Amino acid sequence: MSAPSVAVIVFPGSNCDRDIAVTLEAALGHAPQMVWHGDSSLPKVDLIAVPGGFSYGDYLRSGAMAANSPIMREVVAQAGRGVPVLGICNGFQVLTECGLLPGVLMRNASLKFICRDVDLRVERSDTVFTSGYGAGDVIRVPVAHHDGNYFTDPDTLKSLEDNGRVAFRYCAPDGAITDAANPNGSLANIAGILNETGNVLGMMPHPERLADPLLGGTDGAPMFTALAEAIAA
Amino acid sequence: MKARVHITLKNGVLDPQGKAIHNSLEGLGFDGVEGVRQGKFIELELADGDAEAAKARVAEMCEKLLANTVIENYTVEIET
């Protein structure tokens, strides 16, 4: 069979597109395709990554403009057919704005841009994104955002919790879910969520930024090696 | 014809920016302010036509792009 193909969507203002491309290339053994936001068609791919950055300068609301760009209609269509879609940071904001994931990422409760490493508890290890971890594992990866404060209505939150759709939570180094470990005010310390069918993951932290020893850590790498294995299978 | 759109946070949605504005007002000595909620104001210049139809069209714009109805309410006024 042919090698799995991966697309990285690039918007004006994306700035983690190269980071995730390099990380995916290391895991896959070949480079992903970079797909420009104005394209209205997407080749058949096995994985779509929506990278971090400040698409369209965060005008109106973070991710709002990008969510309405031509390429996102294709991303939504492919997600509906079960293609895994990974949105990181601004990518998560775009996925909520386009309706692939519920809720919204509001301004951080502190009103400050936060750029530092955080501890995350892996809540699910039985997804295509997290099978390289164990449930309950604590991993350390960076956050870098101004709008990462996850909010949704109580019914949606209950449904996320009841259906195990929280993939990652901000935690203390021992895995405890505490207010002190919550960097941005997110409901229930939510750092990443899945869609109903488990093939779309949005998360604010950046696993692609700590996936190489040269960068000071590799806790993010298992996500990409697991994804590469899953789509090659 | 103009459309004026006010976008406000829904009740119950925390508004840390509003809170910061409130604190600053108090710091400036403006007492008696019991709460501050901030939002957005968007003015659209529209081709002349039926005001009711325009209002419905702008509401559709709000639903699709201008507001995020998970956390925001909007009102539309048309000035002919």
A53-102 per-position pLDDT tens digit? 999 999 999 999 999 999 999 999 999 999 999 999 999 999 999 999 99
Residue with tokens 């259906």: A163
Return d(Cα A24, Cα A88) in angstroms, integer.
Answer: 13
Give yes or no for B23 touching A (CB within 8 A).
no
| B66:A106 CB<8 A | no
What share of chain A in percent tops pLDDT 70? 100
- The ipTM (two decimal places) reads 0.83
Give yes or no for B56 touching A (CB within 8 A).
no
Q: What is the 3-state secondary structure (H, E, C) of chain A?
A: CCCCCEEEEECCCECCHHHHHHHHHHHHCCCCEEEECCCCCCCCCCEEEECCECHHHHCCCCCHHHHCCHHHHHHHHHHHCCCCEEEECHHHHHHHHCCCCCCEEECCCCCCCEEEEEEEEECCCCCCCCCCCCCCCEEEEEEEECCCEEECCHHHHHHHHHCCCEEEEEECCCCCCCCCCCCCCCHHHEEEEECCCCCEEEECCCHHHCCEHHHCECCCHHHHHHHHHHHHC
Determine the pLDDT at residue A3: 83
Task: Name the catalytic one among A74, A97, A123, A208.
Answer: A208
Q: What is the three-class DSSP state of B57? A: helix
pTM of the entire predicted model? 0.93
A80 to A4, A101, A137, A150, B34: CA distances (angstroms): 19, 12, 30, 23, 47
Residue A165: band (very low, low, confident or very high) from pLDDT cuts 50, 70, 90: very high
Higher pLDDT, residue B16 or B22: B22
Q: Where are the domains of chain A?
A: 6-232
Count CA atoms within 13 Å of residue A93 on its CB side.
30
How many other C-beta atoms can be found within 10 angstroms of the C-beta atom of residue A57?
11
Residue A199: band (very low, low, confident or very high) from pLDDT cuts 50, 70, 90: very high
Determine the pLDDT at residue A11: 96
- pLDDT tens profile A104-143: 999 999 999 999 999 999 999 999 999 999 999 999 999 9
A220 to A142, A182, A206, A226: CA distances (angstroms): 10, 19, 8, 11
Lowest-confidence segment of A32-46, A74-88, A165-179 by average pLDDT:
A32-46
Partner-chain residue, chosen from A61, A64, A111, that has the shortest CB–CB distance to B17: A111
| B70:A61 CB<8 A | no
Return d(Cα B44, Cα A22) in angstroms, integer.
Answer: 43
| B70:A111 CB<8 A | no
Determine the pLDDT at residue A137: 98
DSSP conformation class of B21? H
Determine the pLDDT at residue B12: 86
Which residue type, as a one-letter code, is found at position B30?
F
Q: Are strands A85-88 and A200-203 parallel, antiparallel or unpaired?
A: parallel
pLDDT tops 90 at residue B77: yes
Residue A1: band (very low, low, confident or very high) from pLDDT cuts 50, 70, 90: low
pLDDT tops 90 at residue A233: no
Determine the pLDDT at residue A59: 92
- pLDDT tens profile B29-57: 999 999 999 999 999 999 999 999 999 99
pLDDT tops 80 at residue A2: no
| B14:A109 CB<8 A | yes
pLDDT tops 60 at residue A41: yes
CATH code 3.40.50.880 for A6-232: yes
